[in-house]
Amino acid sequence: MIAKLERNDPCWCGSGKKYKVCHSNTDERINRYRQIGCVVPPRKILKSAEQIQGIRESGKVNIKVLDYIAEQIHIGMSTEDINTLVNHKMKELGGIPATLGFEGYPKSVCTSINGEVCHGIPSDKVILKDGDIINVDVTTIFNGYFADSSRMFCLGAVSDERKQLVEAAKKAIDIGLEQAKSWNFLGDIGQAIDDFTRSKGYSVVREIGGHGIGIEFHEEPYVSYVSQKGTEMLLVPGMVFTIEPMINMGKADVVLNEENGWTISTKDGKDSAQWEVTVLITESGYEILAY
């Protein structure tokens, strides 16, 4: 049993403010949604101002590492070279690459080329070629806080078909962000992305989604892109999660590489593209913490 929080008590979030001027109104509003059967966020995933600042700083490191890769990436280098660059830059900035050793993952970054959907493992045998498209996905731990984002890079003379896929995957993030505001639902983001993707003749990967992030690598909620408007978790200020839809040129179906246990590719072998953003839900909308 716990005592009811009184209006003049310090708020549960650790802000030091009185409950009545801090989370009291938000809690009441969340409760009304809960009462009508909506999925609402547990308190533990609502970040305090201090935690948000920590994730923001981590996001800055993640952005710097990706900016550095954008400068350095070129035809003829291996994906292992990208791994080395990420590892060194991350350390120089005082961060730790979150993927290294994560559930046994062996590298500091994921590098997924062409028909690879995600979790491509850097290798000195994979050389970037003219016309390739590649996703570079970096996750930082800085001062204990996590931030996760990824970008696509086009190498040399990329076909119009591939360029359009890469652009559509980027646009899908903007479409999702338009729905990223308090008192919307995660399903609003999911459906908007799915509708947009279909309108372009592409498909969204169904089995893999985004995730809450900040205190851990993968937290609640799971962020699907094949969900319906008005369903899934209610969006509330202080939630931090990724939007990272994987957009396929052909069919949505994917296969896992059984040999390495990580890499996911399209089943039909056609290309796939993905961008990833770490986003904070605020009172008035959202703030991008890493991109």
Shorter beta-carbon distance to ligand MF3: residue 30 or 247: 247
Contact pick of 58, 62, 227, 242 for Co ion (by CB under 5 A): 242
Q: CB of residue 108 vs ligand MF3: minimum separation in angstroms?
A: 9
Q: CB of residue 206 vs Co ion: minimum separation in angstroms?
A: 16
Contact pick of 23, 119, 151, 162 for ligand MF3 (by CB under 6 A): 119
Q: CB of residue 145 vs Co ion: minimum separation in angstroms?
A: 14
Q: Is 148 in the site for Co ion (CB under 5 A)?
A: yes
Length of the chain (residues): 291
Query: Which residues are within 8 A (CB) of 145 and not within 5 positions of it... i.e. 6 or more apart?
Result: 51, 54, 55, 57, 58, 214, 215
**CA–CA distance, 261 with 258 (Å, rounded to integer):** 5
Q: Is 276 in the site for ligand MF3 (CB under 6 A)?
A: yes
**Per-residue mark of binding to ligand MF3, 124-143 (x: CB under 6 A):** -------------x-x----
**Per-residue mark of binding to Co ion, 245-284 (x: CB under 5 A):** -------------------------------x--------
Give the C-alpha distances (Å, rounded to integers) separating 14 from 11, 49, 125: 6, 9, 50
Number of C-alpha atoms within 13 angstroms, CB side, residue 90?
A: 28
Contact pick of 51, 62, 87, 99 for ligand MF3 (by CB under 6 A): 99
Q: CB of residue 146 vs ligand MF3: minimum separation in angstroms?
A: 10
Collapsed DSSP state (helix, strand, coil) of residue 209: coil
Q: Is the peptide bond before 42 cis (omega within 30 degrees of 0)?
A: no
Q: CB of residue 32 vs ligand MF3: minimum separation in angstroms?
A: 32
Class of residue 258 by CB neighbours under 10 A (exposed 0-12, middle 13-18, buried 19+): exposed
The residue among 52, 26, 99 whose CA lies nearest residue 279 is: 52
Q: Which residue has the tokens 């990223």?
A: 180
Q: CB of residue 81 vs ligand MF3: minimum separation in angstroms?
A: 18
**CB 217, CB 184: distance < 8 Å:** no
**CB 233, CB 54: distance < 8 Å:** no
**Per-residue mark of binding to ligand MF3, 44-83 (x: CB under 6 A):** ----------------------------------------
- Note the residues at the interface with ligand MF3 (CB under 6 A): 99, 102-103, 105, 110, 119, 137, 139, 148, 211, 242, 244, 262, 276
